[in-house]
Structure 1
């Protein structure tokens, strides 16, 4: 059985939402590595979670984000914290070929394995079309299956962070705008 690699991003203040997403993923899968990119969630939280999962085939990884790497990123909405831009760092911080990024407020209600099989080696990512945007060609950056190998080769994460810094006054929807406009 192939293990799935799933990444979430957040800070300690968003821990309840992160854990809700984690529980929904674990409920529907038998072997998952979940990487939580964060600047401030204590290691003890991860130790307790993994202790509870000791009899399962799951593992939750504490991936620290250096907030200095995200300096200069911002959004026009205060509700969007700059830690969300760490999603663009996933391929650099998570040593996997394919990683599914989920916003930390997503509830998984089924098996994600078929999604992983859809990503072609030449694809940069797979994402769902944004349904609430007036712009037809927008995709929802809250659920992105990344070809991490390609992202690393192209240094796409750094390019997206540079775009976020250079255009921060224009980022109506933060990371969503960056992902769609780059």
Structure 2
């Protein structure tokens, strides 16, 4: 079925090379079947035809980041933002990348603020802003963002972990432990679970 879908999308591109949909659909097939580099190439082909398509640069950035190609991901997110200045997903992803992989908190905060200005109620963006502020030691400002994020996305364990770290920074240890327990007991897997367990043990 995957082979048939590939053929169908390639045929559609030949019939109408200006249609965006078949390029994106084929790229998604490549991603789902473990061919990330081919997906990137597919988006590059699309960009040759539609050079102002910010979403294609966003897709490339996401794939490159997942592959651990952080410089390439940063470049792709920047290209998306050059086309669309208020493209919140690209700004948020770039802020997260700069925070977690590049340790450039000042630059990360600029992009996180841009993302928040564009979509101020998006919990993932509030989390990014709050986490950067936590890492900078601005715990009270961090707390307001993280508490709003968790109100909007209550079952997200990463946000609860970030909230716990901010609470620890404010020496609100009981509240931090409560958030850590909620994060650890969630049914969702999350990358920081071992960090959460270590922090809970440290505070107990």
Short-chain TM bin: under 0.3
- Higher helix fraction: Structure 1 or Structure 2? 2
> TM-score, structure 2 length as denominator?
0.25
- Higher strand fraction: Structure 1 or Structure 2? 1
> TM-score, structure 1 length as denominator?
0.26
Q: Which structure has the greater CA radius of gyration?
A: 2
